[in-house]
Amino acid sequence: MEERNLSKALDIVAKLINGEEISRDEKNTKSLYEDYTTNAEIYDITNSICKKLNVSLYEYEYSLYASAGENNRVFGYSNDELKKEIGVKLNRELFLCYFIIYNVVTWFYNDTGSYTFNEYIKIHDLIHSVDGSLAGVTSQLSVVALNEVEENSFKMIALLWEDLPIMSNEETNARAARGSKYGFSKMTLNFLIKQGLVIESEGRYYPKKRLKALVQNYFEEYKGRLYEIMKGDR
């Protein structure tokens, strides 16, 4: 192993785990992208380090991205950290935000055979999507739920969402709070903005390349139980 190649691989990993993008089209990172894609040893060392750190590395449209692997307590979030970051207090509120995020992802993702993305989503589009998703899930829980805990978890999310007004009296379009469907949706989208996954312009939320990379890679690999339930699988 050449020391230079090890050093380059460490530079790549360091930037990725600090949330930076390594791209062929960015002047500051172009050389690192070329090192990764043209030097087999740097490629292997980088992927080996990421695997040891439980970090997933993705390549998408001539750019490199990374995300924390499952149960990665160093580079990922704990539930309490996520609640604080998003702005919620209770586990059921956090689980509702997870469900909202899932709806954002599926809005920009159709199926495994066609990586088709809608151009943008508005908050009222997202509210309508969550309304429909929860109605579909709760109508078939007795069939698709594997156990009582799973069934009650979705019922809890559905009841929380159904009890919320679309927008509370004191809210404005610029404010996010836990008192309405609009507020929960905006808090969740604000979190995705902070994570560098979406960008907002005039009330429209557009997916960034990082989100598309995660959808085509992480989501494809780790759809999990929620995806099965949404599809009606047991």
Per-residue pLDDT tens over the stretch 83-132 = 999 999 998 899 899 899 988 988 887 554 455 568 899 999 999 999 98
pLDDT digits (tens, 9 = 90+) for 150-188: 667 777 888 899 889 998 765 555 556 778 999 999 999
pLDDT band at 144 (very low <50, low <70, confident <90, very high): very low
Owning domain of residue 214: 79-230
Residues 83 and 149 in one domain: yes
Is the pLDDT higher at 11 or at 220? Answer: 11
Number of domains in the chain: 2
9 with 45: CB under 8 angstroms?
A: yes
Residues 39 and 127 in one domain: no
In-domain check, residue 38 = yes
Of 96-100, 202-206, 228-232, the poorest mean pLDDT is in 228-232
Among 7-11, 82-86, 153-157, 223-227, the range of highest mean pLDDT: 7-11
Is the pLDDT higher at 220 or at 43? Answer: 43
In-domain check, residue 74 = no
Residues 57 and 158 in one domain: no
Whole-number pLDDT of residue 213:
81
pLDDT at residue 80 tops 70: yes
In-domain check, residue 7 = yes
Residues 62 and 85 in one domain: no
Residues 116 and 222 in one domain: yes
Residues 111 and 199 in one domain: yes
> Last residue of some domain: 42, 68, 94?
68
- Nearest residue to 87 via CA among 77, 97, 100: 97
93 with 160: CB under 8 angstroms?
A: yes
In-domain check, residue 145 = yes
- pTM of the full predicted structure? 0.78
Could you write out the DSSP letters of every residue in 138-179? HHTHHHH-SSHHHHHHHHHHHHHHHTS-SS-TT--TT---TT
Residues 172 and 201 in one domain: yes
pLDDT band at 231 (very low <50, low <70, confident <90, very high): low
In-domain check, residue 73 = no
Q: Measuring CA to CA, how many Å separate 5 from each of 28, 34, 137?
A: 18, 12, 50
pLDDT at residue 37 tops 90: yes
Whole-number pLDDT of residue 9:
95
